[in-house]
Structure 1
Amino acid sequence: MAERLLPEVAPGELLAAAGIAGLPAGGDFTHHGRRLRARQVSLSAARCCWYVEDVTESVTRADALLAERARSAFLAVVGEKLGNPLHPDRAAAAVVRLAVPTLAEVAVLVRAPRSGRARWWRATRADDDAPAVDSGVLPAVEPPAAIAAGLDGGEPHTLDWLVEQAVSAGWLPGLTEACARVVPLPGRDAPAGVLLVARRATRWYDEADTELVRAFAARAGAALTTALLYRDQAEVADTLQASLVPVEPAEAAGVQWGTAYRPAQAGLRIGGDFYGSHRLADGGSVFFLRDVAGKGVEAAVFTGQLRQCLQALHRVESQPGRLLKLLNDALLETTRAQGQGRFATMVLGVTEARGGRRGDEQFGTERLVHALTGCHRMPAPALAERVEQVTCDWLAHGDHDDIAVLALRAAGPGERTPRHLHAVPVPTGSADTGETRP
């Protein structure tokens, strides 16, 4: 066994003459591609004996186990840190920051183009522990071939070719001799982006390294896809909210109006209440206030349908009773076709707001009349805000339905009609010469 492990050692010659580095010091050392472990045992007469053991396989298994544990720990941290960002830009920056230095000295993420523009983020290893992150936009030309291949779902592997393209793009500062890998970031229907990792040529990406990069890319792709989906949904919600926010009633001669509005759900700017007015052919105006059953986005969508239907019908029918009949018929036809039991009420007074000491007592007509006493000279916007404030005090910040107030009063000669007050609002009332009807 000794002859096989250490063929240079010859009987009768000094051990130093064999030129075996490491054996005199003991411990582990590498010899002819094998990992050997030397142990010295003292004998009598100042002699010693060396035991040499081939530990290549056991050390390899131990190193593999440690490496696997390190990879698992790294991916666990990645999964935890990528679970929070819900903004695509923050998610992309987090991905490249986490890739350095475990996977690369430079990491670049290129997101799938949107509106013809492809943004990139880059993290570069710095002297301290925190990598430096910057970003930019690819020129309005064809992206580097490796990036284009990655966005198509491929995984380019010609290393010199990848490095040349990364250097040409200006992404590898300080890395003159480097090795690189490009992997796609999985998305819903197509890759959400491409990750390029690069480090010095002294640390090549072996198969285990490449598998780790792919596992990292899978988690990064999931995080980026979630953030992109959240952004798309937020944009849809913003567009929906912008189209359904209550509009100001049209100005009418001799009438002063004021409004106040607060949705039931604080995170939304829309709800199931809406108000407005339409001018009539004879010069008059029809003011309306409605409460759609339900809350949130579902009620808001139904509100939009109802409002658009009213907008169309008032052009063919101005008599309020007949207009309401046509609107009701159209509403029934729509809800039956969709298999829904949706409904809306024309007016719901603030008198039904539940609050007080125990939170279940109705506001009532008496309190409303008392709140409006002495308000007959108050401008309509201030009157709407007054009703809103009194009702919210009664609710004591508890849960409530959508709150909308539309106040109307006769305007004196030459009296200017005020603009809409974007007040923190309340349920409905209509006022005329100081009298409010729920």
Structure 2
Amino acid sequence: MPELAEQGFITLLDRVYRTGQPYTGRNARVLLGEGAQLREAFFDFTYEPRRDVGGNVMGVRMIGVETTQVIRTQRLTAEHRALLEQIAREAPGGGSGGDGESHLGPVAGVLVSVLLADEDGLHLRHGAAPSLPAFYNQAIDGIATGDGIGSCGTAAHRRQRVVVSDIATDPFWDDFRDLAEHAGLAACLSTPILGREEQLQGTFAMCHRVPRVPVEADLALAGVFAGTAALAIERHHAEKARLAAEAGEKAARDDLAFLLKASTTLGSDLHYAQTLERLAALCVPALVPLCAVDAIEQGRVRRIATAAPTEEARQLLASHIPVYDAADDAVARVLATSLTEVARRTPTGPGPWQELGVTGYLSVPLADRGQTFATLTLLTTGDHVFDGHAVALAEELARRASTAAGNARQYTERAALARDLQAGLLLPDLPTLPGAELATYYHPAGEGLEIGGDFYDAFPLEDGNWALMLGDVCGRGALAATTTALVRHTVRAVASFLPGPEAVVQAVNHALIKRHGSHGTGFVTLVYGHFTATEGGPEIELVRASRTLPLHLTTDGAHPVHIDGPLLGVLPRPRLDSRRISLAPGQSLVLYTDGITEARNRANQLFDEDRLIQALNSAPRRAPDVLGALTAAVRSFTDGRDIDDDQAVLVLTVTHPGADRGQ
């Protein structure tokens, strides 16, 4: 390559050899070949000295990587950018000197226009026409694509370049000849702008003021610009699609956040009516300015909840109650058909629609297990309309609300059932004992959805004495209720006919041993006693088959009453002992289940018997006060923690020494 010497490459080799310092050159211009074969090329060169073991330079390694295509691509990109900037500046041609002038020189004297295709490709819209008059741009804005409809309409239809050298005589311009003459146009070269998949993006037109046949440079420039414009338009469409996707993604995120908040809010309280009230509150103003929730209760429609921007509007909306069987009422139709109803008008049937300024409504059914039980009605005012997105969001909200309301209704019904059954196992009213007063307490574990196993009772005997008992059945629910009923009914049935508490408790144990297996097999704890009012003062004979000890509360504190006895329902004939105690005025007998002593605090410590005795030592000397001191101590100890076991307490306090036996 002898030409390298004249271009300085041999000098560089010599310098690296003599100095031992490497050299790197980027995009070096090189002329290769001679005569007709001469061509311009560009290289990245690296010169590296090669050394022997002694460090002496033995030679130079030169590596050249040709970058000619990269340089040419960069120049072409610059030309494309210059052309696009010219159209954006609405400059018909010429430049400001330098490279810009050489790039834009072929455009001089040319009137250029870019039309953009609609999505269906059937019409062309004004895109950019920097040197054409405004009236011309307005006239061709929206021109149809088709054969013979001007140069651009034809080029767009054929997907081919269309050359019109004389507009005055060409049939393509028959419908636009007067317009072209008024704009001073005489010739037009129109090139379709096609995307990567040959999709029509628009047209690029180069017009002249005199009849003219395009030269090779015109065709090349049109091709360059059309290709560049196609990329720019595709990028614009991609950016538009990206923005639309981001807007859709944001809307989806907002919808998801709203639905997550709604689910959390609706599921925060297992109360049926409050759940529907929260549903209405969620919709205003997030979705609409007005909202109403109507539900079927006992065969009639009842407006459960309303929400509005002002209290006056809310009360006005709440005052309207739909008619269940009215064919012209939107709520009634949705309840009957279980289908969403939407309209850009006021709901049919009477209502305060004019006063509230209602212009549209969307009524969505709320269903549980396939049965519609309520409707969510969203009301709009002003120009707001419900689109498909709003309907879908409302239906999803209604679906979640239906689940929450259904769960709340089941919870409410189950809790009421458990309450009613539990009440049947406890005393509806406390009796009045001669010379004494009673106070009782019962608190179920958990949320009260299951029937507890703790129970108490007090009733008169045939001989004028009174029977008292407090017990705990192993387990919870229906089986526990069955066993509780068995114990209470057995005691009430036999107590007046057996000689004393020990015999009564033995009868209870016998009934438990003989019960059917389907009625439960769990054990029972029980403290049972007979209260006798005598002239010397009340006496109580107690039998204990329990894990907790009765407490005798006197002026000097609470004392456990030690009585031996096994659990009931385990042994056929357990050994039972009884103990008789006398109660002076102001003294109390306290019976309690292990739910009291086994209550735990947040450190997982037990309340235990010692804390119970300490709480009772300072208690006042009336039954309600003793009970209040005990329960307050337990609540303070647990500090709001849910209890794991039912709690029951019975307190008997002697009020005066002598009393009649009958009551």
Using the size of structure 1 for normalisation, the TM-score is: 0.65
Superposed, 1:105-144 pairs within 5 Å as 105-114=289-298, 116=300, 118-125=302-309, 132=314, 135=318, 138=321, 142=325
1:3 pairs with 2:118: no
The answer (yes or no) to whether the contact 2:347–2:361 under 8 Å persists in 1 is: no
AA aligned to 1:262 is Y
- The residue matched to 1:148 in structure 2 has which SS? helix
Listed as ranges, the gaps of 5+ residues in structure 1 are 21-35, 37-48, 356-361, 367-372, 418-438
- The residue matched to 1:96 in structure 2 has which SS? helix
Superposed, 1:314-353 pairs within 5 Å as 317=497, 319-320=499-500, 324=505, 326-334=507-515, 336-347=517-528, 348=544, 352=548
The answer (yes or no) to whether the contact 2:368–2:406 under 8 Å persists in 1 is: yes
AA aligned to 2:649 is I
1:179 pairs with 2:360: yes
For residues 289 and 139 of structure 1, the distance between their equivalents in structure 2, rounded to whole angstroms, comes to: 54
Find the partner of 2:405 among 210, 224, 230.
Answer: 224
Query: 1:391-431, CA deviations, whole angstroms, 9 ceiling, x for partnerless residues?
Result: 889989579963323457995367998xxxxxxxxxxxxxx
For residues 385 and 194 of structure 1, the distance between their equivalents in structure 2, rounded to whole angstroms, comes to: 48
AA aligned to 2:392 is E
For residues 661 and 494 of structure 2, the distance between their equivalents in structure 1, rounded to whole angstroms, comes to: 32
Query: 1:375-398, CA deviations, whole angstroms, 9 ceiling, x for partnerless residues?
Result: 624477957568768988998957
The answer (yes or no) to whether the contact 2:363–2:375 under 8 Å persists in 1 is: yes
The residue that corresponds to 2:389 in the other structure is: 208
Find the partner of 2:137 among 18, 36, 47.
Answer: 18
The residue that corresponds to 2:468 in the other structure is: 288
For residues 89 and 97 of structure 1, the distance between their equivalents in structure 2, rounded to whole angstroms, comes to: 13
The residue that corresponds to 1:44 in the other structure is: none
1:306 pairs with 2:477: no
Deviation at 1:148, TM superposition (A): 3.2
The answer (yes or no) to whether the contact 2:291–2:376 under 8 Å persists in 1 is: yes
For residues 126 and 248 of structure 1, the distance between their equivalents in structure 2, rounded to whole angstroms, comes to: 47
AA aligned to 1:13 is L
For residues 188 and 104 of structure 1, the distance between their equivalents in structure 2, rounded to whole angstroms, comes to: 28
For residues 340 and 366 of structure 2, the distance between their equivalents in structure 1, rounded to whole angstroms, comes to: 13
For residues 310 and 138 of structure 1, the distance between their equivalents in structure 2, rounded to whole angstroms, comes to: 54
- The residue matched to 1:274 in structure 2 has which SS? strand
Q: CA RMSD in A?
A: 4.9
1:276 pairs with 2:395: no
Deviation at 1:248, TM superposition (A): 5.9
| Closer/same/farther in 2, CA of residues 416 and 384 from structure 1, 3 Å limit | farther
The residue that corresponds to 1:73 in the other structure is: 257
Moved more, 91-100 or 384-393: 384-393
> Relative contact order: is structure 1 or structure 2 higher (C-alpha 8 Å, sep ≥ 6)?
1
For residues 364 and 623 of structure 2, the distance between their equivalents in structure 1, rounded to whole angstroms, comes to: 60
1:257 pairs with 2:440: no
For residues 408 and 350 of structure 1, the distance between their equivalents in structure 2, rounded to whole angstroms, comes to: 24
AA aligned to 1:229 is Q
The residue that corresponds to 1:376 in the other structure is: 584
Larger radius of gyration: 2
Deviation at 1:110, TM superposition (A): 0.9
The residue that corresponds to 2:160 in the other structure is: none
For residues 338 and 625 of structure 2, the distance between their equivalents in structure 1, rounded to whole angstroms, comes to: 64
For residues 274 and 521 of structure 2, the distance between their equivalents in structure 1, rounded to whole angstroms, comes to: 40
| Closer/same/farther in 2, CA of residues 229 and 102 from structure 1, 3 Å limit | same
AA aligned to 1:376 is A
| Closer/same/farther in 2, CA of residues 394 and 184 from structure 1, 3 Å limit | closer
For residues 98 and 410 of structure 1, the distance between their equivalents in structure 2, rounded to whole angstroms, comes to: 61
| Closer/same/farther in 2, CA of residues 413 and 260 from structure 1, 3 Å limit | closer
- The residue matched to 1:65 in structure 2 has which SS? helix
Identity of paired residues, percent? 17
Superposed, 1:232-251 pairs within 5 Å as 232-246=413-427
Moved more, 283-292 or 321-330: 321-330
Moved more, 135-144 or 324-333: 135-144
1:157 pairs with 2:269: no
The answer (yes or no) to whether the contact 1:156–1:183 under 8 Å persists in 2 is: yes
For residues 272 and 304 of structure 1, the distance between their equivalents in structure 2, rounded to whole angstroms, comes to: 11
For residues 387 and 126 of structure 1, the distance between their equivalents in structure 2, rounded to whole angstroms, comes to: 50
Find the partner of 1:404 among 650, 653, 660.
Answer: 650
| Closer/same/farther in 2, CA of residues 339 and 244 from structure 1, 3 Å limit | closer
Moved more, 393-402 or 57-66: 393-402
For residues 111 and 132 of structure 1, the distance between their equivalents in structure 2, rounded to whole angstroms, comes to: 17
The answer (yes or no) to whether the contact 1:351–1:363 under 8 Å persists in 2 is: no
For residues 7 and 224 of structure 1, the distance between their equivalents in structure 2, rounded to whole angstroms, comes to: 54
For residues 186 and 180 of structure 1, the distance between their equivalents in structure 2, rounded to whole angstroms, comes to: 19
For residues 420 and 495 of structure 2, the distance between their equivalents in structure 1, rounded to whole angstroms, comes to: 26
| Closer/same/farther in 2, CA of residues 173 and 156 from structure 1, 3 Å limit | farther
The residue that corresponds to 1:434 in the other structure is: none
The answer (yes or no) to whether the contact 2:472–2:525 under 8 Å persists in 1 is: yes
The answer (yes or no) to whether the contact 2:334–2:340 under 8 Å persists in 1 is: yes
The residue that corresponds to 2:272 in the other structure is: 88
The answer (yes or no) to whether the contact 1:256–1:380 under 8 Å persists in 2 is: no
Query: 1:325-370, CA deviations, whole angstroms, 9 ceiling, x for partnerless residues?
Result: 5544433343633242232424449995599xxxxxx95459xxxx
Listed as ranges, the gaps of 5+ residues in structure 2 are 1-112, 118-123, 140-200, 202-224, 529-543, 552-557, 563-580, 590-620
| Closer/same/farther in 2, CA of residues 139 and 243 from structure 1, 3 Å limit | farther
Query: 1:34-87, CA deviations, whole angstroms, 9 ceiling, x for partnerless residues?
Result: xx9xxxxxxxxxxxx9x8845354444343223222222222222232231332
| Closer/same/farther in 2, CA of residues 195 and 234 from structure 1, 3 Å limit | same
Query: 1:95-121, CA deviations, whole angstroms, 9 ceiling, x for partnerless residues?
Result: 112112333232211123246452332
- The residue matched to 1:262 in structure 2 has which SS? strand
Find the partner of 1:169 among 333, 337, 351.
Answer: 351
| Closer/same/farther in 2, CA of residues 126 and 287 from structure 1, 3 Å limit | closer
| Closer/same/farther in 2, CA of residues 363 and 217 from structure 1, 3 Å limit | same
